[in-house]
Homo-oligomer: A and B are copies of this chain.
Amino acid sequence: MTKNHLEIIEEHESCVRSYVRSFPTVFTQARGYKMWNEDGKEYIDFFSGAGALNYGHNEPNMKKKLVEYILDDGITHSLDKATEAKSEFLHKFHEVILQPRNLDYKVMFPGPTGTNTVESALKLARKVTGRTEVISFTNGFHGMTIGALSVTGNSMKRKGAGIPLNHSVTMPYDQFVNESDEMDTLAYLERFLDDNGSGVSIPAAIILETVQGEGGLNAARFEWLNKLDAICKKWGILLIIDDVQAGVGRTGTFFSFEPANIKPDIVCLSKSIGGYGLPLALTLINPELDKWKPGEHNGTFRGNNHAFITATEALSYWEDPKFEKSIQDKAVKITDFLTNMVEKYPEMKGFVKGRGFMQGISSDIDGFSEKVCENAFNHGLIMETAGGHDQVFKLFPAINIAEEGLEKGFELIERSIKDTIKQMKLEKETVTN
């Protein structure tokens, strides 16, 4: 059975499987920004586990700590009993992340996945306010369990619920109605809150991503976030930032909302918070809202100590302020590269989207971005699409990637764009659109 792993998977795994369809090869090893398949073929990873591998694969310091811990028979599974590993993580998270940012959140371990932290945030917001509705935004993505799915925009995913999804109201995200114009979607939101005949009641919370990863790399403007924050304060609505994908450095700062100068009531973290790709999630709670009864929300894997070990080690990156700077500098390179691509290849009718290490190109040509990713895979680059029509190809390299890796990735992307233009027989238009 050393061969034919793909057949085994096809035979035994449910047809719900998806990425194996886009990347039909069997991966065996990985280090940093590189992955290898069973035949030893090397791939550059511009996907990073959809944001769960911000520090790359099998980062050596974390790896060392993890192996030592295992060899030592450190506690592996602890529910929410006290362990040294957990306490050390809490302490370091406070010292390195919260305190320097003037944040004093309580940390909840809600179960180790993104959808779990979102569910816990929604439950708490409803419990604390006594209200039932939550406002979410178009093209938001928050998870697959019924509570989180109710605030997720994607219609295919929503239909998967098999029941009507309730207790949520969807509002237009920044620039939703018309990307190029300035019509302020928040004026709209405010009218709904303001008019007692609008049919929209004051919600328990507003939940959003500052950059919508799955939804198509839509990045809210800082002033929009600021204004939203003011609206929440004005109406006594809790502000929940789902930083599962955009957090932990993905946008260039630890939390994605830092440059907007806001302080959400609840923050959802998962994906890269474990550092090594191990399941972990946190719900950060304004201490005044920490009104849970003991065990009112729980979960078997809320204490994943292997992830505490790697998460703690990962925080070391943030002790040095140069780290954030380095991400931001490389992010500029990504922007430059993408802007260049858009200008150089007008045939793809593309425009740059996103922010920091979550940028990409949205193409108005149906199927273009999917084809680029397919070509990239053949050239040895792993990259996925985003958006309701897969209209965006999305660069998600590790935030600690070496320059060399970045450049190599760019090169393969340009080749993939060129291939795609050729394959789709696209021509430069002479008229402007």
Residues 250-281 (chain A) with a chain B CB within 8 angstroms: 270-271, 276-279
Smallest CB separation, A220 vs chain B (Å): 15
The residue in chain B whose Cβ has the minimal distance to the Cβ of A146 is B147
Chain B proximity of A184: nearest CB distance (Å) = 10
Interface: A166 (CB within 8 A): yes
| Interface contact A18-B127, CB-CB below 8 Å | no
- What's the minimum C-beta distance from A276 to chain B, rounded to whole angstroms? 6
Task: Report chain B residues within 8 Å CB of A290.
Answer: 14-16
Are A177 and B153 closer than 8 Å at their CB atoms? no
CA–CA, A31 and B70, complex, Å: 11
A363 touches B (CB below 8 Å):
no
23 A/B residue pairs, CB under 8 Å, sorted by A: A14-B292, A16-B108, A18-B298, A26-B82, A27-B82, A29-B72, A31-B73, A52-B79, A57-B75, A57-B76, A76-B276, A77-B278, A114-B300, A115-B145, A124-B162, A126-B163, A145-B147, A145-B148, A160-B296, A176-B191, A176-B198, A177-B187, A177-B188
CB distance from A396 to the nearest CB of B (A): 12
Q: Within the oligomer, what is the number of copies of this chain?
A: 4
Q: What range describes how many residues of A lie at the interface?
A: 35 or more
Given known contacts A14-B290, A119-B144, what 19 new A-B pairs fall within 8 Å (CB)? A6-B82, A8-B87, A8-B91, A9-B82, A12-B90, A15-B291, A20-B81, A24-B82, A29-B72, A58-B76, A119-B145, A123-B161, A132-B162, A145-B147, A153-B199, A155-B198, A162-B204, A168-B199, A279-B304
B301 lies within 8 A of A20 (CB): no
What are the 7 tightest A-B residue pairs by CB atom distance, in nearest-first order?
A: A126-B162, A77-B277, A170-B199, A146-B147, A16-B292, A145-B145, A5-B87
**A87:B26 contact, CB within 8 angstroms:** yes
